[in-house]
Chain A
Amino acid sequence: MAETQIVVHNLSKTYRVPGREPGLAASFRSLVRRTYRDVEAVRDVSFTVEAGEMVGFIGPNGAGKTTTLKMLSGLLHPTAGQARVLGGVPWERKPDYLQRISMVLGNKSQMLWDIPPLDTFHVLGEIYHVAPAELKRTLDELVELLEMQELLTKPVRNFSLGERMKCEFVAGLLHHPRVLFLDEPTLGLDVSMQGRLRRFLAEYNRRSDVTMILTSHYVADVVTLCPRVILIHRGRLLYDGELSRLAERLAPFKLIRLALSNERVENEPELPPGADIVEQENGRLTLRVARSAAPSITAHLLNTLPVADLAVEDPPIEAVIDQIYQEGDV
């Protein structure tokens, strides 16, 4: 069933930030006159999402991912543009709409601190109109999926970060939302816990067909969970589509891995132009070549060098995305 659930059209968000320059003179001046800068957090973003999809928002820090997510969940009013989620306008914040969405924030907790999580779940069940029998059923299912039975009766303040995140997921899903927004859900967790939570999300999506939009710094989150990514950079949507093709778009090169049969190789094997050495060690070479030039360079190499083994590969997607994050640029 592919109904279009989320429609975003030319969404933009600009907000004003008071300017604060360093230095003593500037701080005195700011007492009298405040200057403002306009920050364009989101610019003309448009996309659609269908029911049950899992979409990953990626992009460097400050790119506008969280801002977009907050507009879709109704927390922020856009400066321009429209969006409809589940047929309603998010920022009108109608109870009907809020009933059917949910948000999990990676570094903030909605649990009551000093009491067991079950008590918070009950309050949330009350707030979200979940009938007690239904709530019990849902909690049982979620708790089993997340393997957190022993946590239910202990006060939340004693939990590790991973255990708390499990509670956050239950809190976010106990009212069966149709759309789930996740902002950095695996932030700060160790690798094995990240893996467990990812498996949970994938399984839950499979069972319940909930639509998920996820932002994450961890490339592995996106690679594992989201067949579709939206790349946002400096507020603009730069790419919307399959992850694998993103690599093609952004990093139009291939890697050629060679093993040379002649161990004693001169320091500088003669390479055709357009081939850059990425790694070189003990007769094994990794070269980076433009995608289009790969076939011809491969042929050249086979002709001119004593090649024992040769493979042509796509660059790992993690490296591509990491490069975007690190360089802060595309």
Chain B
Amino acid sequence: MRYLRLIGSFMRASAQNELAYRANFWISLLYALLNLGTGVLGVVVLFSQVETVRGWDLPATLALLGVYLIIGALRNLFIGPSLNALAGLDGEIWTGRFDFTLLRPVDTQFLASLRYWRPLALVDLVLGAAVMRLEQSLTLPRLVTFVVALGAGVTILYAILLAFTALFLWSPGFLFTWAFDAVFQMARYPVGLYPGWLRLVLTWVIPVGVMTTVPAQALAGGLSAGTLVGSVALGLLVGASALFRFGLRRYASASS
């Protein structure tokens, strides 16, 4: 399909772009390791003082950290770089280069979401998977549920980021994605650890809790809310896409 060929072309150009800066590779590797190290140490320090917290023990929490890193890696692989190109003070919308993107005979949402890739994020992906230590007895159905839950998590992430990018079309100065990044950090720990009201916020308002906790639970075999999460993911995706398209129309009507 043509869109697949386009993605291939984008991936190739992005890889060339990355390779233009060789120093980047080592620095990215260092950052990935630092990220991993501090995350793991954080969890280890906690469990050096207690055995379990609300039912989560060290291996389970580490597994959750692994899921967090994997989702972060998938975000940095293409969702992040592509959507970020539009946002921010040197982004396309603010500088006016978005006009070029709008002129292409290709769906704008597709371009905005899949245009830029950072292959180095694959390193984070591997590290995240390593932390998850898939040596626990993984039955096939559990693995499948896990992958599906992970997919739903990534879809929710994409939908949220897309919605934020859409908000940029209204208010190009505001750094919505930064605000989200801070809240996304909360997904490092099981959502059950947070007080009730926060748990509700993190499940229903900004579903970051759902992104990591649900796949981690799927891995351990305790997934009960599978279909619910799936439909939430789908609903958010449709909503975010609609918002984005509506934003495009408004952008074309309201700017000069």
Contacting pair B99 A77 (CB below 8 A): no
Contacting pair B6 A126 (CB below 8 A): yes
CA distance A66 to B255 in the complex (A): 12
Q: Which stretch, B15-23, B135-143, B155-163, touches the partner chain A?
A: B15-23
B residues less than 8 Å from A109 (CB atoms): 97
CA distance A109 to B97 in the complex (A): 7
Contacting pair B256 A96 (CB below 8 A): no
CA distance A120 to B17 in the complex (A): 10
CA distance A9 to B256 in the complex (A): 19
CA distance A250 to B70 in the complex (A): 68
Contacting pair A98 B100 (CB below 8 A): no
Contacting pair B106 A119 (CB below 8 A): no
Docked complex: A85-106 residues within 8 A CB-CB of B: 91, 93, 95-99, 101-103, 105
B residues less than 8 Å from A75 (CB atoms): 99, 102-103, 252
Docked complex: B1-60 residues within 8 A CB-CB of A: 5-6, 9-10, 13, 16-17, 20-21
Least Cβ–Cβ distance between A105 and chain B, in angstroms: 7
Closest to A109 in B: B97
Contacting pair B17 A112 (CB below 8 A): yes
Contacting pair A77 B252 (CB below 8 A): yes
Chain B interface main SS type: helix
Least Cβ–Cβ distance between A127 and chain B, in angstroms: 5
A2 at the interface (CB under 8 A from B): no
A residues less than 8 Å from B95 (CB atoms): 108
Least Cβ–Cβ distance between A44 and chain B, in angstroms: 17
Closest to B2 in A: A129
CA distance A97 to B17 in the complex (A): 30
B residues less than 8 Å from A101 (CB atoms): 103
Chain A 111-122 near chain B by CB (<8 Å), digits 1 or 0: 011110001101
Chain A interface main SS type: mixed
B residues less than 8 Å from A52 (CB atoms): none
CA distance A109 to B6 in the complex (A): 21
A residues less than 8 Å from B103 (CB atoms): 73-75, 98, 101-103
Considering only CB atoms and an 8 Å cut-off, how many residues of chain A contact the other chain? 40
Contacting pair B100 A108 (CB below 8 A): yes
Contacting pair A115 B255 (CB below 8 A): no
Docked complex: B86-135 residues within 8 A CB-CB of A: 95-97, 99-100, 102-106
CA distance A101 to B99 in the complex (A): 13
A41 at the interface (CB under 8 A from B): yes
Interface residues on B, range: 20 to 34
Which of B5, B97, B104 lies at the interface centre, i.e. has the most chain A CB atoms within 10 A of its CB?
A: B104
A128 at the interface (CB under 8 A from B): yes
* CB contact under 8 A between A95 and B105, given known A108-B99, A155-B20: yes
Least Cβ–Cβ distance between B103 and chain A, in angstroms: 6
B residues less than 8 Å from A76 (CB atoms): 252-253, 255-256
Least Cβ–Cβ distance between A235 and chain B, in angstroms: 11
B residues less than 8 Å from A70 (CB atoms): 99, 256
B254 at the interface (CB under 8 A from A): yes
Contacting pair A127 B21 (CB below 8 A): no
* CB contact under 8 A between A103 and B13, given known A15-B256, A67-B256, A127-B6: no
Least Cβ–Cβ distance between A45 and chain B, in angstroms: 15
Least Cβ–Cβ distance between B249 and chain A, in angstroms: 8
CA distance A112 to B19 in the complex (A): 13
A1 at the interface (CB under 8 A from B): no
Contacting pair A122 B9 (CB below 8 A): yes
A residues less than 8 Å from B249 (CB atoms): 77
CA distance A227 to B35 in the complex (A): 63
* CB contact under 8 A between A91 and B97, given known A114-B21, A120-B13, A128-B105: no
A residues less than 8 Å from B100 (CB atoms): 103, 105, 108, 110
Residues of B bordering A, CB below 8 Å: 5-6, 9-10, 13, 16-17, 20-21, 95-97, 99-100, 102-106, 249, 252-256
7 tightest A-B contacts by CB?
A98-B105, A95-B105, A126-B9, A114-B20, A110-B100, A99-B105, A77-B253
12 contacts between A and B (CB under 8 A): A15-B255, A70-B256, A74-B103, A75-B102, A75-B252, A76-B256, A95-B106, A108-B96, A110-B97, A113-B17, A127-B104, A129-B105
Q: A15-B255, A16-B254 are in contact. List 19 more A-B contacts (CB 8 A).
A: A15-B253, A66-B256, A73-B103, A74-B103, A98-B105, A99-B105, A103-B99, A103-B100, A108-B97, A114-B21, A119-B16, A122-B9, A122-B13, A123-B13, A126-B6, A126-B9, A127-B6, A127-B9, A128-B105
